[in-house]
Structure 1
Amino acid sequence: MPKDSIRKTRSDGDKTKERILKAALALFAKHGFAETENKEIAKKAKVDIASINYHFGSRKGLFEAVLIRAHQNLVSLEALEAIQRSDMTPEEKLHGVFNLITGAARRGERASLQVISRSVIAPGAALETLFKEEARPKLHVILQIVSEITGFPVGDPRLIHCIASAIAPAFLFFVFGSRFPGPFGALTKMPQSDLDDQLTVFALGGLRATAAAAAAKATDEKEKAALPAGSFKAPDTANVA
């Protein structure tokens, strides 16, 4: 087969695969994986059913590919790595992470979030694949940034607690999008730069307080360990009214 024909075949195959991915993502987001039949996906993608197994190996393979694509639509690993490799300060890097998150929310990636949310509610092997291939590398990058801010080494379990407290709230914008309930709707009308600034300020406050508390505890434990056996250290009453 001529090289031009091979390239054309591959190009057509890539386009078909992309149509299947987009169709499946939209349908899984709306109806869920279990409630969506392959024939519906094939109809929406304008392909024959056999193309699904040809390009993805199985229905499970398609679902895993959709989850990975959905995660990429929200925040890409390349964008996170670019922030981490930059010469920005750790605080500026954190601001950049929030900018990625709120930017995706403003773009309206609700279908991607819905697909991932459904898989979290009913976890299975596909979710494990998503974490291993897509989420874990991104988490590692964010751990490095938070490590630079707190001084906790990468691998310290406290970093996970920090991320859950400081960064997770930003993902509420994915859940509600422009339909934030009640007075919180004003948040979606803020300029994105102002919103990123606010999220960063509050996150840094918590991260720095956590680091300071850990340092104070470590100092206290070191002083106690240095005391002779049987001695007593009086509690600090400087701040007691």
Structure 2
Amino acid sequence: MASTPREPRKDGEATRMRILEAAGELFAASGYAETSNKAVAAKAEVDLASINYHFGSRNGLYLAVLDEARRRFLDISDLQRIILGEQPATEKLRALIELVVHKASQRRNNWHLRVLAAEILAPSPHGQAHLQAVAPLRLALLKGLFSEITSIAPEHPALIRCILCVTAPWAMMLIGPRGASGALHEILGMPADDVAAHLYSFALAGLRESSRLYSQGMQP
């Protein structure tokens, strides 16, 4: 007699997300090395077998946390949706900056920002390679956008410099230190629309100047 295939448990995804949230908070607070599956299980109120079932191992759980953190931070689908859209290139840049600023201005204690910051500052054995898996696609999308704005050839070194100058503040806002004082603290307390507008106008002015220099055969 053929056995009837088992249906997936309806609460399986809810359990997986509960584990992911608990692990994210613990990894953000204590780091990869100091966070055990036992601690995650206790916080998520599940048994250890549930972690192994959904993630395979502590490393698998950590990589899943990084995936979720990256998705909440600036998912590749966000870049594709904006950069591959129909609006002018300068409006795409504005949309990206607004997205980043509004994400950074949301709850400042979001664990996903702290997990990414910790991974960048103190890399885990497999985390960096995992995060870098989509880096070539992300860079290709940004090169296309910035080349369209500046007319600088995608392979020209100046274009990478332009990308770095524009996106460095994004990284600082999203994964920079969350202290009780300092410039970043003040900026995050300002209206998000004002910050986004300032970053956009500042970035666009720099890109236009780089474009002017490039068109005249000078070094941007």
Question: TM-score, normalization: structure 2?
Answer: 0.85
**1:158-193 per-position Cα deviation (integer Å, ceiling 9, x unaligned):** 3322111112113322225695515x6553343322
Greater radius of gyration (CA): 1
8 Å CA contact 1:180–1:188 kept in 2: the answer is: no
Measured in 1, the distance between the counterparts of 2:41 and 2:159 equals 43
CA drift of 1:154 comes to 3.3
8 Å CA contact 1:67–1:115 kept in 2: the answer is: yes
- Corresponding residue of 2:127: 126
- Corresponding residue of 1:90: 89
1:35 aligns with 2:34: yes
Listed as ranges, the gaps of 5+ residues in structure 1 are 220-241
Measured in 1, the distance between the counterparts of 2:66 and 2:78 equals 18
Measured in 1, the distance between the counterparts of 2:119 and 2:189 equals 30
Measured in 2, the distance between the counterparts of 1:47 and 1:201 equals 49
Structure 1 counterpart of 2:31, which letter?
G
8 Å CA contact 2:143–2:159 kept in 1: the answer is: yes
Measured in 2, the distance between the counterparts of 1:201 and 1:31 equals 38
Larger mean CA deviation between 168-177 and 40-49 belongs to 168-177
Structure 1 counterpart of 2:192, which letter?
Q
- Corresponding residue of 2:25: 26
CA root-mean-square deviation:
2.4
- Corresponding residue of 2:79: 80
**SS in structure 2 opposite 1:118?**
helix
Measured in 2, the distance between the counterparts of 1:111 and 1:40 equals 16
Moved over 4 A (4+): 176-180
8 Å CA contact 1:178–1:188 kept in 2: the answer is: no
1:165 aligns with 2:148: no
CA drift of 1:92 comes to 0.8
CA drift of 1:153 comes to 3.4
Measured in 1, the distance between the counterparts of 2:178 and 2:12 equals 34
CA drift of 1:194 comes to 2.1
- Corresponding residue of 2:63: 64
The number of aligned residues is 214
- Corresponding residue of 2:145: 145
- Corresponding residue of 1:202: 202
Measured in 1, the distance between the counterparts of 2:157 and 2:49 equals 46
CA drift of 1:96 comes to 0.6
- Corresponding residue of 1:224: none
Percent identity for Structure 1 against Structure 2: 34
CA drift of 1:147 comes to 1.6
Structure 1 counterpart of 2:163, which letter?
I
CA drift of 1:212 comes to 2.1
Larger mean CA deviation between 39-48 and 172-181 belongs to 172-181
Alignment of 1:42-57 (within 5 A): 42-57=41-56
CA drift of 1:2 comes to 6.2
